[in-house]
Chains A and B, each alone.
Chain A
Amino acid sequence: MNEQAIKDLLYKLADDQLILGHRNSEWTGFGPILEEDIAFSSMAQDKIGHSLAFYTLLQELGEAEPDTVAFTRNANQFHNSQLVELPNGEYDFSLIRHFLYDNAEIIRFEMLSQSSYEPIAKVATKLKGEVKYHVLHANTWIKNLGSSIEEAILRLQTSLNEAMPYALAMFEKSKYEQELIDTSVYAGEEAVKAEWLKRITAVIEKTDLKLPDLAIIEPKFGGRYGEHTEHLQPLLDEMAEVFKIDPTAEW
């Protein structure tokens, strides 16, 4: 099995979870209601825990230890999709991003739980049980707010339109895509995307929102290859602010 291909897959999974977890944690103290503060914090804790699980698998494959990998790389060494690094914006954007992201993540984890690469299969099996609740949370809120007052519908629709080019780029293919599919490590991005479209459409149809015309959207690719928006590096600088005072210290 091609170890580089596995590492590439693991970095993608880990970096997505770390960066979105970090963004989710920024809601602590600022939520529209206390219950949402708490919910976003729970999801942040799960996601950062998931990233740690994947970084640990990477360490087993010879990469540096998780703290070093997470806290000392620069933006161009990160493999996350640009969707997760965008600032939280207002609650409508954070909710839409959470909905689009987690509906994809659960499918990735479901498929990876069948992976021929056993360490990933084990971790994915364990974690998909947690992501299930993230999806439940997102879908419930989209259904509630997406069919409520005009202001809410308008806000969510605007955010949906803004987020979609980034969301479609979550499925940017790895240079090892075919190899991962051929060796049954991963079902591949096309398969995830097809299932994702079905699931998000089913939720959106229960609301007053409309899915934008995907045929005319240009996905914001690049994230998987280290190309990022101007928002990622400041996030990483903030994350490493204390750690870098002395990377050898025990904090």
Chain B
Amino acid sequence: MYGGGNVFEATKFDDVQTEDPAKLAEFEARIARGEKIEPTDWMPELYRKQLIRMIEQHAHSEIIGALPEGTWITRAPGFRRKMAQMAKVQDEVGHAQLLYSAAETLGKSREQMLTDLISGKSKYSNVFNYPAFTWADSNIISWLIDAGAIVNQMANAKGSYGPYSRALERICAEEAFHLKYGHDAVVHMATGTPKQREMIQAALNRWWPPIMTFFGPSDKMSTHTETLMRWKVKMASNDECRQQFLDMYVPKIWELGLTVPDPKLKKNMETGQWEFTEPDWDEFKRVINGDGPCNAERLAVRRTAEERGAWVRRALLNPKAKYVRPLA
């Protein structure tokens, strides 16, 4: 589950000026022909850095995203939901495993990535800094956050880096099941008892603002962004993803008799674009930089897990073994 809105800032674009022009031209020609770039192929440093950053953030989002929903595994009502919730969250952890491997092919070890996550150096999807207060919150995450993630990941699956795009294809197939599961759970709540309806509407109200920031702020169109789009690292703009998400899911939310808590939300039939209240980007920035309702808790949980499990990793380590990065 990953929105991807916060990836492409703060790398110096100058990096690319120092690359060998002939190699760079050949690299760009390959991408233009639709070829995939593989781990041992030549690539510009900027490409490598951006991909590590993007895949790493995606992987972190999967394991941190497992926490708000994981809380509800032990509370899921009835066998059917309990089994599905377990399988769903397990999938997310499995995605992290796949993605860390994909990022490792670019030269950064999993241990280093996890260290950077705990220290706060690397980021993860901002939505997981919000709490899942009730079972209904967990249902909204399973449906709408996973839906948003699919929009983003389907686009990225067409990207140029082989290992990432192959991992995403597999991930999307699994996310499609999550979406069905989440939708089914929300349908049961929305068509259930008055108490259930009240729970699911309250959860939607809580989650709508984070959902609207899920894809990140409008992209600043810079040479930097253009390059990343030409290199097929960035596949769709944040606004495009947001519009696509609204197109696909607002009618489904309305169909259930639920209310989207934004009086300005409507589709402009002339432009074909959704209009909505501009999300609070100041809050988005504040939360992403550490000052959200759950940032400290999420990282503390992850840090505790890493510290408590450290002896296992030490015990497994063969002192003579040398680190070898996975192939793809």
Contact = CB atoms under 8 A, between A and B. Distances in A.
Given A41-B86, A48-B86, A66 B79 contact: yes
A192 B34 CA distance: 61
Given A38-B93, A41-B90, A41-B93, A91 B308 contact: yes
B83 A34 contact: no
Interface stretch (B68-76, B174-182, B243-251): B68-76
Interface string A21-34: 01001101111111
A251 B135 CA distance: 10
A45 B83 contact: yes
Interface stretch (B39-47, B154-162, B192-200, B215-223): B192-200
A90 B67 CA distance: 18
A151 to B, nearest CB: 5
A29 B312 contact: no
A48 B79 contact: yes
Given A32-B308, A38-B93, A41-B86, A250 B314 contact: no
Interface stretch (B6-14, B94-102, B119-127, B282-290): B94-102
B301 A241 contact: no
A96 interface: no
Contacts of A246: 193, 195-196
B309 A33 contact: yes
Interface string B295-328: 0000001001100111111111000000000000
A222 to B, nearest CB: 24
A117 interface: no
B63 A250 contact: no
A235 B75 CA distance: 10
Given A28-B93, A45-B87, A144-B316, A249 B70 contact: no
B86 A249 contact: no
A137 interface: no
B170 interface: no
Contacts of A45: 83, 86-87, 90
A151 B315 contact: yes
B316 A90 contact: no
Query: How big is the B interface, by class?
Result: 35 or more
A67 B78 contact: yes
Given A28-B89, A41-B93, A22 B74 contact: yes
A42 B195 CA distance: 33
B188 interface: yes
A74 B89 CA distance: 28
B272 interface: no
B77 interface: yes
B75 A241 contact: yes
A99 to B, nearest CB: 15
A28 B66 contact: yes
A38 B309 contact: no
Contacts of B305: 29-32
Nearest to A154: B311
Nearest to A44: B86
B82 interface: yes
Nearest to A22: B74
A149 B301 contact: no
A152 B311 contact: yes
B81 interface: yes
B97 to A, nearest CB: 5
Nearest to A241: B75
B311 A249 contact: no
Given A41-B93, A249-B195, A251-B77, A32 B66 contact: no
18 contacts: A28-B73, A29-B305, A30-B305, A36-B312, A41-B93, A48-B79, A48-B82, A71-B77, A91-B309, A155-B311, A238-B74, A241-B75, A242-B77, A249-B195, A250-B192, A251-B135, A251-B189, A251-B192
Given A44-B86, A48-B86, A239-B74, 11 more contacts: A31-B309, A41-B87, A42-B90, A71-B78, A90-B308, A91-B308, A238-B74, A238-B75, A239-B75, A242-B72, A251-B78
Ordered nearest first, which 7 A-B pairs have the shortest CB separation?
Answer: A32-B309, A32-B312, A41-B90, A152-B315, A251-B77, A243-B77, A148-B315
